[in-house]
Amino acid sequence: MELDSKQLAQTCRALADDKKAENIVVLDLRELPGVTDFMVICSGTSEPHLRAIEEEVSGKLRDRHGVEPRAVDGTRNSGWVVLDYVDVIVQVMKADVRERYDLEGLWNDAPRLRPSRAKSAKKAVRKRAQAATGDVVAE
């Protein structure tokens, strides 16, 4: 089954979430002049975390859907990696780099896609379980 651009963006979000990416945002750019349909922006806490997110997204898309990025730009050392899937661009950034470049602010008129209800429910259950055991809950 071939993924349309919205399904691809949602899949990228889910894969990043599977590796505990933080503050995941999906911008719907279809109605705005630009170069892509969707932009997925997420944060990682360290270079190894950026690598884990990048490898999860690119590896699972390749293995499960036969989708390869047209280009990969940036480096984990710079704190910013971009996966270009033509209709979807995935930005994986360290928090300080993300704050500096403020892509959400640049594209502030773009609507945000909400996570699927099933994913939101799963995350809520996980947070409740962590709270019940006294574990620190990170956003």
Candidates 101, 106, 90; CA nearest to 25 is 90
How far apart (Å, rounded) are the C-alpha atoms in residues 70 and 86?
Answer: 7
Strands 38-44 and 22-28: antiparallel
Q: Could you report the per-residue pLDDT of 47-99, keeping only the tens digit for each?
A: 999 999 999 999 999 999 999 999 999 887 889 999 999 999 999 999 999 99
What pLDDT shows up at residue 130?
57
Per-residue confidence (pLDDT) for residue 137, from 0 to 100: 46
Question: Residue 75: its pLDDT value, please?
Answer: 81
pLDDT tens-digit readout, 34-52: 889 999 999 999 999 999 9
pLDDT greater than 80 at residue 123: no
Mean pLDDT of the chain: 88
Domain 5-133 matching CATH 3.30.460.10: the answer reads yes
Residue ranges of the domains in the chain? 5-133
